[in-house]
Chain A
Amino acid sequence: MSFINLKDITVSYDGKVDILKKLNIDIEEGKLVSLLGPSGCGKTTTLRVVAGFIQPKNGQFICEKEDYTYIPVHKRNFGLVFQSYALFPHLTVFDNVAFGLKMQKVDKKDIKKAVEEILEVVDLKGYNSRYPKELSGGQRQRVALARALVIKPKLLLLDEPLSNLDAKLRLKMRAEIRKLQQKLGITTIFVTHDQEECFSISDKVAVMNGGLIEQYDTPEEIYTNPSSEFVARFVGFENFIELDKIGDNIYQSKSGVKFITDISDKDTKTKEKLVGTIRPDNIKIIDNENEAENNILEGIVDVRTYLGKEYQYSISTEVGTILVNANNEKIYNQGNEVKLYLPANKLVLV
């Protein structure tokens, strides 16, 4: 049995609309799991149920085989880090970090030792007597992290902790969070809407939509093999082609173009509508038809956009507009006729 189980969690704020609809998720001990999704998908609500700020209407939250559903927040001993850091403005760095231990009535000497240890871990040695307003955003974030970790929490909950930092600091902090999390081996739930951020630090990612988990997998699996059109769109798949199955691994567009895919179609047999999807990066523009035998689309360049490293072409084909990213070696102009090759091992069915 996993370390954490959310079973059929249903949450409603007004009693009418369900924000979470029978949500289930298992998290193994020591892993960092991200909840990823657009705003309003229920990811923060899920985190708040785990933290104890929201009582679910139905369902159960189990942590280490113990039912936590109705345990009050202040008795859970979970570490929380908020988007706004939520440091106590009237207390120094030391007192901020010591707060949790004081609540546990830990001996003064032990508090001092523990606080100084954790401040060293987050690289804030010597900042004891500073006030939060005297710190930079990154330093505040580290104090918040130290404050959550010093109580040796069973679970670390991070609610978009990096979104208030500038881009450079965000990269640095997410590496630090990952390093700390692995070093301490603490089970962590990380809420974010940033796909790249969440892929870079998670063991597993739960992509959420409309109060449900659409896909719960490793970042690699979600990136290369999304299970639904929503997940595909959210993680950067931009081309969607409606297909009909006409044989083993052979599909046909409504207009009659045949496609072969190597990626197994999983449970797609049960779906009414089959959609083939592929990233703009994975489509090749070919000049010679001999380069590939199948999965070829003909089209005309509509728009060329310069992306810096490469160009993005918007190409109209008989299956609709297709986006392709191509390098700068050969440049195509508006109106050029081109042939596109969609490799069978990159075409995903959702």
Chain B
Amino acid sequence: MKGVFNMKHNKGLTFFTVCVYLFIFAPVVIIIMTAFGPDEVIAFPPKGFSLKWFVNIFTSDMFMKTFSISIQVAVIATIIALIIGVPAAYAMSRFDFKGKGLIKNIFFSSIIVPGIVFGFSIFNFIIIKWKLPIYTSLLIGHIIIILPYIIRVVASSLEGFDYSIEEAAVSLGASRLKTFFLVVFPNITSGVIAAFMLAFINSFNNVPISIFLTGPGVSTLPIKMMSYVEYYYDPTISALSVTLMIMTIGIMFIVERTLGLSYFSK
């Protein structure tokens, strides 16, 4: 097929595409290469090959501890947010009730308000006024910021699910609750998994909120990475970035193998 958008015949478009890819991937390639450099400071191109920075991460208590806190917070916050978010999404997509618009806005407000403002106000209330423990505050903060993602993704997969299917189940003798678990949930699992991943990644990567809600003994990996870069300029951070990339690719691989990524584009 010959057309304006035929890559083989449009040099300008090819050039543009290559530029975009370079812009996206060149920094990633540089980070990966510097992670294996032997020098004490990040240098490009690296003057040799060494795995000592990777060893450094896994032997550093500080990184291992914050990594495990980040994972814990992301998993627990995501699960709690799912428990709140899935029924909320269901209620908002299926029922009309008074104050629906207001509740919707409240749920989505954490996306609209700048993260740093939001983080500060949570800090002000939860830690200063209510004096909740740091770990709990961190969890609450993360639940609030990932809730909109969960509600939005789950609501959009509910939207595509014909309501008369639920009515059919009810007419066949299933209560509303049974209908939800036997009929609705199995048909929105792809949405729920997508919501889980999105929420997990958002929680794991979050800086503007976490920075207010971390303190002595409790910190997340991104916060620790930031403060590390302030003092040291060695390739440890590059090595850590590579490790995180591998982790993400690993998750995507497992998801692809078990569900298929095409599952998400449905």
Taking beta carbons and an 8 Å cutoff, which residues of A are in contact with B?
A: 51, 53, 73-80, 82-84, 86-90, 99-100, 103-104, 144, 147-148, 151
Instruction: Select which of A77, A82, A90 is within 8 A of B167 by beta carbon.
Output: A82
Contacts of A83 in B (CB 8 A): 164
- B214: Cβ under 8 A from any A Cβ: no
- B183: Cβ under 8 A from any A Cβ: yes
A103 and B165: CB pair below 8 A? Answer: no
A53 and B173: CB pair below 8 A? Answer: no
B174 and A103: CB pair below 8 A? Answer: yes
Q: What are 5 of the A-B contact pairs (CB < 8 Å)?
A: A73-B171, A79-B171, A86-B162, A89-B165, A148-B171
User: Nearest Cβ in chain A — how far from B97, in angstroms?
Assistant: 14
The verdict on A151 contacting B172 (CB below 8 Å), with A88-B183, A89-B187, A103-B178 known, is yes
Contacts of B170 in A (CB 8 A): 73-74
B168 and A86: CB pair below 8 A? Answer: yes
**Which of B164, B171, B175, B178 has the most A CB atoms < 10 Å from its CB?**
B171
* B: number of interface residues (CB 8 Å): 17
* Nearest chain B residue, comparing its CB with the CB of A78: B171
Instruction: Select which of A80, A87, A88, A89 is within 8 A of B171 by beta carbon.
Output: A80
* Nearest chain B residue, comparing its CB with the CB of A73: B170
- B27: Cβ under 8 A from any A Cβ: no
**Which of A86, A87, A144 has the most B CB atoms < 10 Å from its CB?**
A86
B165 and A77: CB pair below 8 A? Answer: no
- B12: Cβ under 8 A from any A Cβ: no
Contacts of A53 in B (CB 8 A): 167
Taking beta carbons and an 8 Å cutoff, which residues of B are in contact with A?
A: 162, 164-165, 167-176, 178, 183, 186-187
User: Nearest Cβ in chain B — how far from A142, in angstroms?
Assistant: 15
A77 and B173: CB pair below 8 A? Answer: yes
A147 and B172: CB pair below 8 A? Answer: yes
Contacts of A147 in B (CB 8 A): 168, 172
Instruction: Select which of B162, B164, B167, B172 is within 8 A of A103 by beta carbon.
Output: B172
The verdict on A90 contacting B186 (CB below 8 Å), with A53-B167, A80-B167, A82-B167 known, is yes
B167 and A86: CB pair below 8 A? Answer: yes
Contacts of A103 in B (CB 8 A): 172-174, 178
Q: A89-B165, A103-B172, A151-B172 are in contact. List 14 more A-B contacts (CB 8 A).
A: A51-B171, A73-B170, A73-B171, A77-B173, A80-B171, A84-B162, A84-B164, A86-B168, A87-B165, A87-B168, A89-B187, A90-B186, A147-B168, A148-B171
Contacts of B165 in A (CB 8 A): 86-89
Contacts of B173 in A (CB 8 A): 74-75, 77, 100, 103-104, 151
User: Nearest Cβ in chain B — how far from A150, in angstroms?
Assistant: 9
User: Nearest Cβ in chain A — how far from B94, in angstroms?
Assistant: 13
Rank and list the top 8 A-B pairs by shortest CB-CB distance, nearest first: A103-B173, A100-B172, A86-B168, A86-B164, A80-B171, A82-B164, A90-B186, A86-B165
